[in-house]
């Protein structure tokens, strides 16, 4: 009887209007939070759940997660990290998929957000735990929940992270592409590759470097967006836009150039790299970002300058992503926009991030379960046309660049990066300048990506 009496009191409190003079300060805030929590429990339709779905990573599991949850942020041997509303949570129960709820909050609550954080050393983990309480961790990946004002603290830890966008949805026409046969040398493709040169790419990187800082809070960011848009417009035949998105209440722009396919325009291949930069300091006024990621941004532009003038059967989107350094925000905006288009199928995403640090004639190529076939295509094609060797990493745990925004919606995407796990000694420093680049590697990787793009467009069994 006592328990029933207490429950009656609690539920009656949910409908009580508390006079303004009754409580004040911390006491009133705590009481309001208490009442809000009671109301939330009664309105389950307004709650979003961050969950770990306990399925082993596989093609079948990924399809099941995308159908049931609509997206996922991260996958490992422990399962898939995703966000669902109450209706989708019920689908997990009905499908008898085991899951654990890591956290929950109102669907309309923008006062806090979840971040997936990449941690490499015990010291970094200790620093993260000193500031935030992780909700989940596996290997290098940690999930935290923070307020907007805490993001600068996270940035100050010099850790890479991704914002878990609760509004992402899977692409409407997902597919598992058929594996391609081993690349055979095609003189017509080889003839196109020589148009990409180390000297031309270096000049592009130098222009980007000369904006002084492309960090999202600096004027050089918008100036670089404008210049890149002008360069894509100069190619001709491309539909060039600078779509806006919001980061921390600030309006930013990506650069998106669309080359319409001549045969199947609803089949899309994305060539991308981020154009923003940063430094490991709160003083962002000097962030040249030559390698990270002037090199990748140059790669996208120079691939477009060649392929953009060729009639290609599939639509190609050349995307210079913004705000990669602050949570992969720009690429999520692009992925979300593509996923929302009826009939559009993203076949492949080719991401270039830091491609000019040193030339040991090897590039790291990273992909998840859905992208294994694309890793193999790149490896074979690069070796065939440029002699570039690939360090292949079939590892969904390496999510810290823009390729993972497309993994989230069920697209095949790979990252090409100068090395893994080794990093440039100039990473996020004011010394990341053109003088410290290795242009030969940059040329080889960009030529390889162009060869992959042309190979995919010529392959009759890419369907």
pLDDT in tens, 102-127: 999 999 999 999 999 999 999 999 99
The CA angle 236-333-293, to the nearest 5 degrees, is: 65
Q: Could you tell me the residue ranges of all domains in the chain?
A: 27-163, 187-457
Predicted local distance difference test score (pLDDT) of residue 345:
94
At the topology level, CATH places domain 187-457 in Aminopeptidase (3.40.630)
Q: What is the mean pLDDT of residues 412-428?
A: 95
pLDDT in tens, 206-226: 999 999 999 999 999 999 999
The CA angle 392-424-373, to the nearest 5 degrees, is: 15
DSSP line for 356-402: -S--SSEEEEEE-GGGHHHHHHHHHHHHHHH--EEEEEE-TT---ST
Is the dihedral angle over the CA atoms 452, 456, 462, 463 positive or is it negative?
Answer: positive
Exposure class string for 156-165: b at 16+ Cβ within 10 A, else e: ebebbbbbbb
CA distance 363 to 355: 8
Q: What is the mean pLDDT of residues 361-390?
A: 96
Please say if the pLDDT value at position 79 is more than 70. Answer: yes
Which pLDDT band, with edges at 50, 70 and 90, does 29 fall under?
low
DSSP line for 312-351: -SEEEEEEEE--GGGTSHHHHHHHHHHHTSTT-EEEEEEE
Which pLDDT band, with edges at 50, 70 and 90, does 401 fall under?
very high
pLDDT in tens, 6-19: 445 444 544 444 44
For strands 161-163 and 239-241, give the pairing.
unpaired
Predicted local distance difference test score (pLDDT) of residue 136:
98
């Amino acid at each position: 009887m006592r328990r029933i009496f207490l429950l009656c009191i609690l539920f009656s409190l949910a409908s009580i209007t508390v006079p303004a003079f009754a409580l004040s300060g911390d006491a009133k805030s705590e009481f309001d939070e208490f009442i809000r929590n009671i109301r939330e429990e009664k309105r389950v339709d307004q709650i979003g759940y961050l969950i770990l779905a306990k399925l082993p990573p596989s093609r079948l599991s990924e399809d099941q997660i995308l159908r049931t949850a609509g997206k996922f942020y991260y996958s490992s041997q422990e399962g898939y990290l995703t966000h669902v509303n109450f209706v989708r949570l019920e689908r997990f129960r009905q499908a008898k998929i085991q899951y654990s709820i890591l956290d929950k909050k109102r669907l309309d609550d923008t006062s806090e957000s979840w971040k997936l954080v990449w941690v490499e050393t015990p010291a970094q983990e200790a620093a993260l735990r000193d500031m935030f309480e992780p909700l989940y961790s596996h290997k290098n990946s940690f999930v935290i929940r923070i307020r907007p004002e805490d993001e600068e603290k996270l940035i100050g830890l010099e850790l890479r992270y991704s914002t878990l966008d609760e509004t992402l949805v899977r692409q409407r026409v997902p597919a598992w592409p058929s594996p391609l046969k081993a690349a055979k040398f095609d003189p017509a493709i080889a003839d196109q590759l020589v148009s990409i040169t180390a000297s031309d790419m270096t000049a592009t990187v130098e222009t980007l470097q000369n904006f002084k800082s492309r960090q999202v809070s600096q004027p050089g960011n918008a100036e670089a967006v404008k210049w890149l848009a002008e360069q894509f417009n100069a190619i001709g035949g491309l539909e060039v836009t600078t779509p806006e998105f919001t980061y921390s209440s600030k309006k930013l722009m990506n650069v998106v150039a669309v080359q319409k396919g001549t045969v199947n325009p609803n089949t899309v291949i994305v060539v991308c790299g981020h154009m923003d930069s940063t430094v490991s300091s709160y003083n962002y006024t000097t962030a040249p970002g030559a390698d990270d990621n002037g090199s990748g941004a140059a790669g996208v532009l120079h691939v477009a300058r060649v392929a953009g003038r060729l009639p290609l059967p599939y639509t190609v989107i050349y995307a210079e992503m913004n705000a990669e350094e602050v949570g992969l925000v720009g690429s999520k905006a692009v992925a979300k926009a593509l996923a929302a288009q009826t009939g559009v199928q993203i076949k492949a995403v080719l991401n270039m991030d830091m491609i000019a640090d040193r030339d040991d004639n090897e590039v790291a190529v990273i992909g998840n379960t859905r992208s294994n076939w694309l890793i193999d295509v790149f490896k074979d094609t690069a070796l065939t046309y440029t002699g570039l060797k690939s360090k292949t990493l079939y590892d969904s745990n390496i999510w810290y660049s823009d390729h993972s925004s497309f993994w989230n919606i069920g697209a095949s995407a790979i990252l090409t990066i100068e090395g893994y796990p080794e990093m440039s000694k100039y990473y996020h420093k004011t010394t990341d300048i053109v003088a410290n680049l290795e242009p030969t590697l940059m040329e080889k990787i960009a030529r390889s990506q162009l060869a992959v793009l042309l190979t995919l467009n010529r392959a009759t069994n890419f369907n």
